[in-house]
Structure 1
Amino acid sequence: MTPGDAEVGDGDRRLLDELARIAGRRIERLREYQREHHLADTLQRSLLPQALPAVRGVELAARYRPAQEAAAVGGDWYDALVLPDGRLLVMVGDVIGHDLNAAVAMGQLRHLLRAHALDAPDPAHLCETVNRLLPALGTGEMATVAVAHLDLDRGRGRVTITSAGHPPPVVVGAGGTASLLAVPACPPLGALDATPYESVQAILEPGATLVLYTDGLVERRGEPIDASLRRFATRCVALGDPSLDAALDGLLDDVLAPGTAADDVAVLAVRRSTTGGAPPGA
């Protein structure tokens, strides 16, 4: 033993052993958390649409990005489909919660909305139907959702929208303005039994873009939600650029700067063509 060495006694060894056991347990919990995070992210991405429909008269773009921080993903989604009568249905939703169960519930809810969208005359009826059926899934989850019908028949560009507890849509005008669309305040799906839902109508002018998104894009710690919404709407002006896909990527890179968001996000943008166009399926 050199003069600088110290003998390790039994008490020290027990302390070191206990510290090693604590470190081992924490490492294993971290690995388990990372595995679940990866599984939830993979499952969620597999449940999202593999492609958006090609629709005459509009351009579609959508993105999903998982949480930047270590919080578990799960629950945010988007969807788009052409209905038998030619209208375009677009949806963005968020199952309340962030875990593997939320990702599973998201897939069930998305397919439930799709199945009943074929018979629902408008988004309000669709939300009422799904809200009534949601308890049968047995998940106990609640979800916010924005549902919009876009009618391009004869170039009208009429949009009918229902928001079930969801952030208000943004409309970006062809002239470079952006505004939050006022929608009736309705409860999230699964929050109340037999609750009525309301729709609001607007006109999407040629060249204008409708933006549906989840709250991970706007909510920031310490910032009032009204200020967050106004800031996001202002940034959506960038979606007026020629390439909607590139503009949407640029918007997300801007809004989701490192360290600004801890939630996963989904966003879907619908731009009406400046040349009009026939309705889907025509």
Structure 2
Amino acid sequence: MKSTSLLLSFILGFAVSSAIAYYAWTHQPSSPQATTAARNVHIQTPMPMTKLMRDRQLRIYLPPDYEHSTQRYPVVYMHDGQNLFDTASAYAGEWGIDESLNSLALTHGLNLIVVGIDNGGDKRMTELNPFNHERFGAGEGDAYLDFIVEQVKPWVDDNYRSLSSREYTAIMGSSMGGLISHYAAIRHADVFSKIGVFSPAYWTAPAFSDLVLVHPVKLPQRLFLLMGEAEGGSMMTDFDAMKDTLIAARAAQPALASIAISVPHAQHNELFWRSQFVPAILWLFDQPTTDVQALP
């Protein structure tokens, strides 16, 4: 009887210890994903957003020759910084901006500084929208752009060898980032001369088309519009309507050069935007490229 009890105790103890060991093995915390960011990408201390009372992470890409030269460089300001350079920080895939620009520096001699501004997580839908929205809340787009223009850009111009005039300053983003970039082209035309608008979420800002008509751009500006034909919802319809709006406003803004590209079968994701970044940036910076078509 005693030996039976000892055997049962042993079996029970072994079963419990085995279960604990199996649970520990199957519930190990996942290892941090290795960074894919190039060595010339630098993460800065979060910067306070004065008007929005939040902090925001900046990620700075510097040209490959930055440390060994004395020249100054154009600057591209981009939204959703988590997704630009590094798979480890991306929540939906990365654009590979650093790899693309390192390559363009070699093949085209195009050297740029890129300032990636992280999105605000649950604040993204309001920060990147200048208009109020019934579902998402009061738009904070004006305050967000003020953060870029009044805080981030002066800091960049003070701390890096940038070419600070509008001629050398671009802004670019996708989805909500595309919307706020297009809005920046109007509200801050004196700051940005090159605008990349990828898959813009015009559906969140129905009043935006009227704004384009009422406030035509008077200063020289290049506007790159991109949409995937399989993005769903009203995305393609809204994109076509914006093309018509730009054509209608052309007489009032002869200094605006516009490109609009729709890509068959392309969907709303980073893989698509990554594939179109190079032709977009080449066109925006007036480099030779055959992958774009102008508005009629």
TM-score bucket of the superposed structures, by smaller chain: 0.3 to 0.5
Q: Which structure is richer in relative contact order (CA contacts within 8 A, separation 6 or more)?
A: 1
TM-score normalised by L of structure 1:
0.33
TM-score normalised by L of structure 2:
0.31
Higher helix share: 2
Higher strand share: 1
